[in-house]
Amino acid sequence: MTRPDVECTTYHAILLVADVAASAAFYVERLGFRLAFTEGRPPEFAGVNLGHVQLFLERGTPGPDGCGLYFVVDDADRLHAFHVSQGVTIVEAPGDRPYHLRDYTVRDDSGYPITFGHRLSSHAAGQ
């Protein structure tokens, strides 16, 4: 059988978190996401958005080892300044990387590493 040529339009990562309400609040208040929805009382599941990208938070046992998220944004330095002002734990300072992105890494309230980066201008046109 031949592999089908399938177009994928959306991807949603799901992070297991101990307290969905607390994690959603962390993402909204400290990381700058917007709350899209919650399900249940207390919430068992939530969606948080960064621009047009949505991340799901689901109640469960967090497993940050071996897992990480990478968001390509328009201005990582501006977002970094916001994260610093909100007291977010920065685990890797902003820097220009050999893979043509400027990025930095934070740790969320469940211990997941999250990297935010923007394309370096000399390579933005080729993306």
- The string of pLDDT tens digits covering residues 25-79 is 999 999 999 999 999 999 999 999 999 999 999 999 999 998 999 999 999 999 9
pLDDT of 121 reads: 84
H or E, element range at 72: strand 69-72
User: Distance (Å, rounded) from C-alpha 35 to C-alpha 29?
Assistant: 10
Burial of 26 (0-12, 13-18, 19+ CB in 10 A): buried
Cβ distance 46 to 56 under 8 Å?
yes
In this prediction, residue 65 carries a pLDDT of: 93
Q: Read off the pLDDT of each residue in 90-111 and give the average, rounded to a whole number.
A: 97
Residue 44 one-letter amino acid: E
Q: How far apart are CA 33 and CA 53, in angstroms?
A: 10
As a whole number of angstroms, the distance between CA 101 and CA 64 comes to: 23
Is a pLDDT exceeding 80 seen at residue 124? no
Select from 68, 20, 74 the least CA-distant residue to 51.
Answer: 74
